[in-house]
């Protein structure tokens, strides 16, 4: 089951980013974040009273006139409505209710999403009375908070997690393999999905994804049933918002959570970009199996060595996921599209693969002999034994004398040795060090 998505919306300067950073940084534990992939942290996986959720910050608007403010507010509110399970409308208690607040509230009211109305910048009792005018927004009881000082955030978070029960319907565990199709707009995601569904396939059903504005298409491949999660929004004909980067990241977060395998689609004509790295980084950091599909290869101007050069560019930009196989296709002509499902099933099997403890320790033992563990101030790292603790992604627990001695570079060396021995194509590997006291 995917984590609920909580989106914080509001006009500029009401304190959205302050609230986001306060919650993600101190009030609740960050389960996972995405370092090194994006400069702007716009989402964090969080937990409050045992309930996990993904918090989205829709801030970062720099308007130049009142008209642009209203335009941007409509776009941000629509983003939240499309993507979130719970919407937080943040307003400024010092300034009072504005036309922009009412504009956003009117859009949110039309949705079926639970809404938490938070009145920010209420630092003392003297201005707490300012919250009452926000009843005029007509979206529920306003809550007084101060994001900067952390006042009222406990009750505020309680209200959010209480809203999950009304926004999320429990579903039976779906054992079908789910494939998320990720990528920038116009990379050809929808064309790939249509090609996979239309070429000697039987479409069992096609329904809109629950609250994600994604299309779930169920199809059969050699008798087995699979689900494609298309994040392109096949049913939305209108032009996507100007704030494309933020919108696609938000969508990718929701789709990746539901997926087993992620298909990262890159437009051959525009090449690999920082935005592709951000999207791929979500799949990597959330521990999902992945393949990289370079689309529109039929119209790419090729010369000798084009494939190797393109692969090198991808590996340089996506240096954090060297394990992901790369396929060059054309959804338009069908060129090598048959390789997609072959590769998806390959990495899916690797994602679920287990290795025996005895064989694993033989590989670790040979690795230690090949490259002595690091030492610090005369104390050397000792590796006692290792075992595989989980799959999806493959997770290995390594028992050592001192976790502090296991440097990142040696951890990467051990991961490479495990890959050399067992493959694990297309899937990230997790190494967890645990201390075991030396009896001697």
Residue 59 marked ligand-binding: yes
Same fold, 5-167 and 177-351: yes
Residue 44 marked ligand-binding: no
Residue 163 marked ligand-binding: no
Give the span between the Cα atoms of 14 and 101, in whole angstroms. 10
Residue 10 marked ligand-binding: yes
> In this structure, which topology does domain 177-351 adopt according to CATH?
Rossmann fold (3.40.50)
What is the phi/psi pair of residue 224, to 5°?
Answer: -100, 150
Residue 298 marked ligand-binding: yes
55 pLDDT more than 90: no
Q: Where are the beta strands (DSSP E) in 296-347?
A: 326-328
Residue 189 marked ligand-binding: yes
Residue with tokens 């980084």: 281
Cross-strand partners of 399: 385, 434
Residue 310: its pLDDT value, please?
95
Cβ atoms of 293 and 327 closer than 8 Å: yes
Cβ atoms of 173 and 194 closer than 8 Å: no
Residue 426 marked ligand-binding: no
- Over residues 254-307, the pLDDT tens digits come to 778 889 999 999 999 999 998 889 889 989 999 999 999 999 999 888 888 899
Residue 223 marked ligand-binding: no
Residue 136 marked ligand-binding: no
CA neighbor of 84 nearest in space, from 163, 19, 171: 163
Peptide bond just before 393 cis, omega within 30 deg: yes
What lies within 8 Å, CB to CB, of 258 at 6+ separation is 2, 178, 180, 209, 212, 229
pTM more than 0.95: no
Look up residue 122 and give its two tokens: 């209420």
Give the span between the Cα atoms of 22 and 55, in whole angstroms. 12
Residue 99 marked ligand-binding: no
CA neighbor of 256 nearest in space, from 223, 226, 220, 281: 281
396 pLDDT more than 90: yes
Q: Which is higher by pLDDT, 195 or 421?
A: 421
When the candidates are 3.30.300.20, 3.30.300.30, 3.40.1440.60, 2.30.30.90, the CATH number that belongs to 357-435 is: 3.30.300.20
Cβ atoms of 187 and 266 closer than 8 Å: yes
What lies within 8 Å, CB to CB, of 162 at 6+ separation is none
Residue 15 marked ligand-binding: yes
Domain boundaries, the chain: 5-167, 177-351, 357-435
Residue 423 marked ligand-binding: no
Domain 5-167 - what CATH class? alpha beta
Residue 61 marked ligand-binding: yes
Residue 48 marked ligand-binding: no
418 pLDDT more than 90: yes
- Over residues 40-53, the pLDDT tens digits come to 446 777 888 888 88
Assign 194 to helix, strand or coil.
helix
């Amino acid at each position: 089951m995917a984590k609920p998505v909580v989106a914080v919306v509001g006009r500029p300067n009401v304190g959205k980013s302050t609230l986001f950073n306060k919650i993600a940084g101190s009030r609740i534990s960050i389960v996972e974040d995405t370092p090194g992939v994006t400069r702007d942290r716009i989402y964090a996986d969080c937990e409050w009273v045992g309930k996990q959720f993904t918090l989205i910050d829709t801030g970062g608007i720099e308007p130049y006139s009142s008209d642009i403010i209203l335009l941007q507010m409509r776009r941000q509110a629509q983003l939240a409505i499309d993507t979130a399970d719970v919407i937080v409308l943040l307003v400024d208690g010092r300034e009072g209710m504005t036309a922009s607040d009412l504009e956003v509230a009117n859009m949110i009211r039309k949705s079926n999403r639970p809404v938490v109305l938070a009145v920010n910048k209420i630092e003392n009792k003297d201005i707490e009375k300012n919250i009452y005018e926000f009843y005029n927004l007509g979206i529920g009881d306003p809550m007084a908070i101060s994001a900067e000082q952390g006042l009222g955030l406990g009750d505020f978070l309680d209200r959010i997690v209480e809203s999950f029960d009304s926004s999320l319907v429990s579903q039976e565990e779906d054992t079908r393999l789910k494939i998320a199709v990720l990528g920038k707009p116009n990379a050809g995601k929808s064309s790939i999905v249509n090609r996979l569904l239309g070429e000697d396939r039987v479409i069992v059903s096609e329904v809109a994804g629950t609250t994600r504005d994604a299309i779930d298409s169920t199809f059969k491949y050699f008798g087995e049933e699979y689900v494609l999660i298309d994040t392109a929004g096949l049913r939305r004909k209108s032009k996507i918002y100007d704030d494309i980067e933020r919108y696609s990241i938000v969508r990718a977060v929701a789709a990746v959570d539901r997926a087993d395998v992620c298909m990262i689609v890159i437009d051959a004509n525009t090449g690999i970009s920082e935005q592709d790295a951000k999207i791929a980084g979500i799949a990597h950091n959330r521990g999902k199996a992945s393949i990289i599909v370079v689309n529109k290869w039929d119209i790419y101007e090729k010369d000798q060595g084009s494939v190797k050069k393109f692969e090198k560019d991808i590996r340089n930009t996506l240096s954090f996921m060297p394990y992901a196989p790369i396929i060059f296709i054309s959804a338009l002509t069908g060129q090598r599209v048959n390789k997609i499902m072959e590769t998806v099933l390959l990495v899916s099997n690797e994602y679920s693969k287990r290795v025996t403890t005895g064989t694993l320790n033989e590989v670790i033992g040979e690795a230690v002999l090949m490259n002595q563990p690091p030492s610090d101030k005369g104390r050397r790292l000792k590796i006692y034994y290792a075992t595989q603790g989980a799959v999806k992604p493959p997770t290995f627990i390594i028992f050592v004398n001192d976790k502090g001695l296991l440097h990142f570079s040696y951890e990467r060396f051990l991961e490479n040795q495990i890959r050399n021995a067992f493959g694990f194509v297309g899937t990230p590997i997790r190494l967890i060090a645990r201390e075991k006291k030396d009896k001697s």
